[in-house]
Amino acid sequence: MTGSTRSERAQPDDPCAVTPSEGESSSLRSTFTSIGPEAYVRMNSLLTFSLDARWRDRAARECLAAGAVDILDLCCGTGDLALALHRVCRRGAHDKGGGKAPHITGLDFCPTFLDHARARARSAGAAIDFVEGDAGAQPFADASFDAVTLGFAFRNLTYRNPLRDLYLSEILRVLRPGGRLVFVETSQPENALFRFFNHLYLRSIVPLAGGLLAGSAAAYRYLADSAVHFLTRRELAALLLGAGFTDPQAMPLCFGAVALVSAKKPAGDAHLAGDASAKVREAANRAPTETGGAAPAKAESSRASQGDPGNGGGRP
């Protein structure tokens, strides 16, 4: 789920180090520079009590249910969701693609995570193409994929991120008309008591474990903070509709602490999303400092002003 946020500890010649041309938030990316891929995989399993693999399998089944053949796992990180797609295909869950096995591509900005993903794919006998690239300038032609998936990376692209609109427009651009976006992400439990204990766990245990076991309390403090303040399922649906997607669906998992979300690209002109993406990128490059930080989603702003309990009474 690294997207534009993970690397090994950055050195001056580190390809994961932030450069102005990448046009991304240096503070967001730098929070992950101390997490290695092995530690990241281990912590994912530990902090979710190994439920993260089950959630990714659910996302993979949802993605493949409509017969997707060309699939992009965006912000693929160490390849967890891409490998889940491979596993589901091997179990015979993909039966609507006319017998054609799906072609899976993983995109991430960090070569160290990609190297780890490639090694895991080789061990699993999975023919997955892992590509180094930026989620905001994806190296693919318009309408290249039947589906785009993300495993706990959508939050990194949209939580207080000034390039949120660019990332969403790029996803639309590379999707074919009628193609689907499917992702699994943290969300807000509706039950107030469960939400309280979920937030308590995130705020106290997650940063502590990240510091002790992964050597990066700051990165896991960001993960906890962004999860505590991220959108409800209803707000996620509103964000996707506002970005140009249709038919957003959000299924609660783990009593609502996690959501399986899907949406479609309108079955219209395949070039419209590409034009929109180019305009967003041009605006971001022309005035990168005018945003003053992330332009918050209307849903986020509304929830903060109303003191929604799912937001802990508003953002700090």
The string of DSSP codes covering 239-287 is HHHHHT-EEEEEEEEGGGTEEEEEEE--SS-TTHHHHHHHHHHHHHHH-
Judge whether 261 lies within some domain.
yes
Quick check: 80 and 153 in contact, CB under 8 A? no
Domain count, the chain: 1
Q: Is residue 183 part of a domain?
A: yes
Domain assignment of residue 135, yes or no: yes
In degrees, rounded to 5, the angle at the alpha carbon of residue 190 between the alpha carbons of residues 84 and 49 is: 40
- Do 166 and 274 contact (CB within 8 A), yes or no? no
Predicted confidence at residue 92, as pLDDT, reads: 76
Q: Closest Cα partner for 257 from 313, 302, 206?
A: 206
223 in a structural domain:
no
Q: Yes or no: say if 271 and 164 are a contact pair by the CB < 8 Å rule.
A: no
d(CA 271, CA 221): 40
Predicted pLDDT of residue 273: 54
Q: Considering the chain, what is the average pLDDT of its residues?
A: 81
Q: How far is CA 311 from CA 59, 201, 220, 254, in A?
A: 25, 15, 18, 18
Mention every residue, 6+ apart, whose C-beta is less than 8 A from residue 136: 4, 23, 24, 163, 166, 167, 170, 281, 284
pLDDT in tens, 180-234: 999 999 999 999 999 999 999 999 999 999 999 998 888 899 899 999 999 999 9
What is the rounded distance in angstroms from the CA atom of residue 313 to the CA atom of residue 107? Answer: 36
Q: What residues pair up with 104 in beta bridges, in sequence order?
A: 71, 128
In a domain, 207, yes or no: no
Residue 52 pLDDT > 90 = yes
Q: Which residues pair with 246 in a beta bridge?
A: 264
In a domain, 53, yes or no: yes
Q: What is the pLDDT of residue 80?
A: 97
Phi, psi of 146, rounded to the nearest 5 degrees: -80, -25
Mean pLDDT of the 118-126 span:
97
Q: What is the pLDDT of residue 268?
A: 78
pLDDT for residue 309: 30
Residues of the chain above pLDDT 70, percent: 72
Range of the domain at 71: 29-190+231-285
Distance CA 143, CA 82 (A): 20
Q: Which pLDDT belongs to residue 277?
A: 54
- pLDDT in the model for residue 289: 34
Q: What is the CATH number of the domain that holds 76?
A: 3.40.50.150
**In this model, does residue 13 exceed pLDDT 80?**
no
pLDDT in tens, 226-244: 999 999 999 999 999 999 9
For the chain, percent of residues with pLDDT exceeding 90 = 64
114, pLDDT greater than 60: yes
d(CA 31, CA 13): 18
Tens of pLDDT, residues 265-291 = 999 755 555 555 555 555 545 433 333
pTM of the model: 0.79
User: What is the pLDDT averaged over residues 99-125?
Assistant: 92
Q: What's the CA gap between 49 and 310, in Å, rounded?
A: 23
Q: What 3-state DSSP class applies to 178?
A: strand
